Amino acid sequence: MDEDNPLLVTREGAVVRATLNRPARRNAMSSAMVAALDSLIADLATDGSARVLVITGAGGHFCAGLDLTEVGAPAASQEEKLGQQQERNRRTGARFAAIAALPQVVVAQVEGSAFAGGLGFVCAADIALASADARFAAPEVRRGLVPAQILPWLARRMGRSAATRLVLQGNAIGAAEATRIGLVHETFADAGALQAGVEAVIRDVLQNGPQALAETKALLAALGPLAPDSYAEAGAAAFARCASGAEAAEGIAAFKAKRPPAWALG
């Protein structure tokens, strides 16, 4: 069952491939999936023999973001729910930072949906390639939530103006538009062409000195912080306040029922 193996990891020499494997949920991030991913990231952080990490999704989708069935799960008290949501969001931000800090070159191979937290993976990767059918969205505000931990990564990748529109409008954009605004680096006609494009990137990267690559990534990070030191905690607190409130409860219920939320106009 997919739930028994939410992250599939394979290795071919210096190339590690991590496949988000919950296709029935469009690879939405469950606690088990992110725990497995965190373990892999920790291992790769000290693995000098791995030189490339490819992150992709099973079943024709990349990642639909956080599994909202977990966000909406009941807690014993409002205080407990607030704490759970804050800690979950805090870990999400730390995960994106850990991916970006890896000494390996990280490639996002994107098909289908790359929504919400899935965008965090796309932007934390060094190189993002997509198939023409890929769709990208930051729909948190449509669920009564906030794009707390992905926002700095979106702003870094595509610029603050384009990120502002994406997170406030909340709509999905196609691969061509995502490439135009710099969210992804290149779009390919179909899954086969995308795979060939990823393999071409891997071949290029493997021609480069692994220490030089790691040092170059460190220099890129030294150009400046992603966000002020206080941002991650403020983002986690904002997410927790929204996620534990009535608006998110209605937004998540509407999402599950495939209906507009009560606040939607027009």
pLDDT tens digits for range 127-141: 999 999 999 999 999
Number of helices (H), then strands (E), belonging to the chain: the values are 11, 9
- Asked if residue 100 lies in contact with residue 42, where contact means CB atoms within 8 angstroms, the answer is no
- β pairing state of 127-131 and 15-20: unpaired
Q: Is 189 left (phi over 0), alpha (psi -120 to 50) or beta?
A: alpha
Fold of 2-191: 2-enoyl-CoA Hydratase; Chain A, domain 1 (3.90.226)
Q: Over 90: is that where the pLDDT of 27 sits?
A: yes
Contact 106, 199 (CB under 8 A): no
Q: How far apart are CA 140 and CA 208, in angstroms?
A: 39
pLDDT single digits (tens) 190-219? 999 999 999 999 999 999 999 999 999 999
The 10s digit of each residue's pLDDT in 149-162 is: 999 999 999 999 99
Report how far apart, in Å, the C-alpha atoms of 257 and of each of 1, 69, 183, 252 are: 25, 12, 30, 9
Reported as type and span, the H/E element at residue 55 is: strand 52-57
Structural domain spans, the chain? 2-191
244, 79 contact by CB (below 8 A): no
Alpha carbons 143 and 4: distance in angstroms, whole number = 28
Query: What proportion of the chain, given as a percentage, has pLDDT over 70?
Result: 97
